[in-house]
Structure 1
Amino acid sequence: MLSTHAIGRLALLLLFLALSLGIGPASARDPDGRYRHSPLHDWFESLESARGPCCSDADGIVIKDVEWRTSKDGKHFSVYIAREWVDVPDDAVLKQPNLFGKTMVWPYYLDGHPIVRCFIPGSMT
């Protein structure tokens, strides 16, 4: 039987191995082709706003419903990224149906602050 100390060390070792193997949050970018067989791969790769291809050099991230909001007139969006609210430029909003269903944003950073390249609202469920 393992001691409490040994179990704790084993848990830390497993956590380290999982992190070093890249097991963690998924991104919408697929630089090494590991998601090429996903049914949504081609859809993600085709996403593009007036600011450029979404998946070119910006990792897409899923954001929770509490991390985005619409303006009072319902025409503009803001997202909470890197501990700050960022206005989504109108030309960064994707107009096609969201096949993934979850709200996503593709930020890049300038002087340490996020800028939105692409944004697609989700179903808010």
Structure 2
Amino acid sequence: MKTPVLGCVFGILAAAFIGAVQARDDGHYSLSPLKPWFDSLRSAKGPCCSDADGFAVLDPDWESKSGHYRVRIDNEWIDVPDDAVITEPNRAGRAMVWPIKGSLGISIRCFMPGSMT
């Protein structure tokens, strides 16, 4: 059974090594010191890891313009709803997105801007 929270932790750690990587839970990072922090992440849409696996986004694949964010997923730029933005400090450093793919396309559950370094 897939546990999305662990998938989120895996996504951050794997992304540090190989760029934008889709998070999938294999239980490997259940003891990560960032796990409690990922468990607590929420946007106004709700808990980030409850319905969607997150993944790190490379700097060229997200941007801020006029106070709003957008992110490139599957070569498509998607506007991030303001209520999907996580406003607490980013402990992971990299931009993260939690998309939900449905019959009407991709929606963003949560987005956490990175440092763009």
Provide the residue aligned with 2:76 in structure 1. Answer: 84
The CA RMSD over aligned residues, in Å, is: 1.8
User: How many Å separate the matches in 1 of 2:100 and 2:33?
Assistant: 26
Within-5 A mapping of 1:10-21? none
Question: Which entry has the higher C-alpha Rg, 1 or 2?
Answer: 1
* Aligned pair partner of 1:43 in 37, 43, 61: 37
Provide the residue aligned with 2:85 in structure 1. Answer: 93
Deviation at 1:82, TM superposition (A): 1.6
Provide the residue aligned with 1:20 in structure 2. Answer: none
Q: Greater share of strand residues, 1 or 2?
A: 2
Cα distance per residue 1:56-83 (max 9 Å; x no partner): 1201011111101111x2x100000022
Runs of 4+ in 1 over 6 A off after TM superposition: none
Name the SS for the 2:28 alignment partner. Answer: coil
The aligned length equals 98
- Consecutive unaligned residues of structure 1, counting only runs of 5 or more, are 1-25
User: When the two structures are superposed, what TM-score results if normalisation uses the length of structure 1?
Assistant: 0.71
User: How many Å separate the matches in 2 of 1:90 and 1:33?
Assistant: 32
User: How many Å separate the matches in 1 of 2:104 and 2:58?
Assistant: 22
Greater relative contact order (Cα 8 A, min sep 6): structure 1 or 2? 2
1:65 partnered with 2:59:
yes
